[in-house]
Amino acid sequence: MALRFRGITGDHMRESTDVAMAKEKLIEKIRELAWLRSDHEEFTLASGRKSRHFFDMKPVMMEPECAHCLGVLIHDELATIGNIDTVGGLELGAVPLTGIAIAKAGVGSTLRGFIIRKEPKGRGGRKTGNPPGIEGSTLSSGDRCVILEDVTTTGGSALKAVERLIDMGCDVVACITILDRQEGGVEAFANANIPLIPLTTLSDIEG
Tens digit of pLDDT for each residue in 27-43?
999 999 999 887 777 77
Per-residue pLDDT at 2 exceeds 60: no
Q: Between 54 and 58, where is the model more confident?
A: 58
In this structure, what DSSP letter does residue 84 have?
-
Question: At the topology level of CATH, where does 8-206 sit?
Answer: Rossmann fold (3.40.50)
The partner residues of 37 in beta bridges, in order of sequence, read 53
The residue extents of the domains of the chain are 8-206
- The sign one gets for the Cα dihedral 180, 119, 60, 2 is positive
Per-residue pLDDT at 9 exceeds 50: no
Which amino acid, one-letter code, is at 144?
R
Interval 66-88 mean pLDDT:
97
Q: Is 192 left (phi over 0), alpha (psi -120 to 50) or beta?
A: alpha
Residue 99's SS3 state is helix
Tens digit of pLDDT for each residue in 148-188?
999 999 999 999 999 999 999 999 999 999 999 999 999 99
With contact defined as beta carbons under 8 Å apart, do 89 and 196 qualify?
Answer: no
Residue 156 is predicted with a pLDDT of 92
Burial of 203: CB neighbours in 10 Å, binned 0-12, 13-18, 19+:
exposed
Q: Report the b/e string of 111-128 with b at 16+ CB within 10 A.
A: bbbbbbeeeeeeeebeee
Entry pTM: 0.88
Interval 47-51 mean pLDDT:
72
Residue 200 is predicted with a pLDDT of 98
Rounded to 10 deg, the angle between the 64-81 and 19-33 helix axes is 130
State how far the Cα of 69 lies from the Cα of 97, in Å rounded to an integer: 11
State how far the Cα of 63 lies from the Cα of 31, in Å rounded to an integer: 14
* Torsion angle (degrees, nearest 10) of CA 49, 156, 158, 161: -140
Of 104, 100, 79, 102, give the one whose Cα is nearest residue 150.
100
State how far the Cα of 199 lies from the Cα of 181, in Å rounded to an integer: 11
Tens digit of pLDDT for each residue in 100-130?
999 999 889 999 999 999 887 766 667 888 9
